[in-house]
Structure 1
């Protein structure tokens, strides 16, 4: 019985660490877009975004990340981040740029949430039984 409790704590803390790392990266990316930092502007323009759209992208990413960081709205945040990262994949494919990074990041967002939230774990485990 004790091993199961320790494993559960390990799972929760692993999920928290993964989620925190994702949140920190996404916050830095969002803030760089909002303040229109030079590297962010150059990278976005290189991918085909107009310069005046970068701040809007940063605000959307900031809102999605904050929703993901708050336990009460984490599932909504994860869904919105999945959409945002899916859009990033589409843009990178069109620009002929490597697109594995947003895919891996989207997976990490859900793995982190699944390890720290029993409702998400239950959702995915019940999906396995259905298929």
Structure 2
């Protein structure tokens, strides 16, 4: 008979640290999505330099995708699905920067840093994820 692991509650310090970390990610991604919705000329010019269509429709589509994934991440019942989708989106950004030879530490790996914040914030605030990953703390 398997032994069931009891879920330990998240400490207040971990919960608030996770909320803060996740909140920073959410604010950044919502801002990133919003500037793509408008879209500023700097957005379409950057997309063109990266080898993508510089159309406003493409920028708006990316903005909507960013915002939708971020909202899913921000809502507790869907936060794990949102984290997975945000991670995929950030992986695409990393690939695009590597493809055009962007500076590694400042541009190409920025998506990695943000992804670590996404999962770190979720791990700190969500006891279900800790249980899923087998963490005892």
- Answering whether residue 113 of structure 2 is matched by residue 108 of structure 1, we say no
Give, in whole Å, the separation in 1 of the partners of 2:54 and 2:46: 10
Which 5+ residue runs of structure 2 have no aligned equivalent?
A: 1-8
Number of residue equivalences = 122
Match of 2:46 in 1: 43
SS for the counterpart of 1:36 is: coil
Match of 1:56 in 2: 61
Matches within 5 A, 1:88-103: 88-98=93-103, 99-103=108-112
Which 5+ residue runs of structure 1 have no aligned equivalent?
A: none
Choose from 13, 19, 22 the match for 1:19. 22
Match of 2:5 in 1: none
Choose from 64, 67, 79 the match for 2:84. 79
Give, in whole Å, the separation in 1 of the partners of 2:86 and 2:130: 18
CA shift for structure 1 position 88: 0.6
Superposed CA offset, 1:18-73 (max 9, x none): 00000000000000001111222222222112122211111111100010011111
Give, in whole Å, the separation in 1 of the partners of 2:36 and 2:49: 14
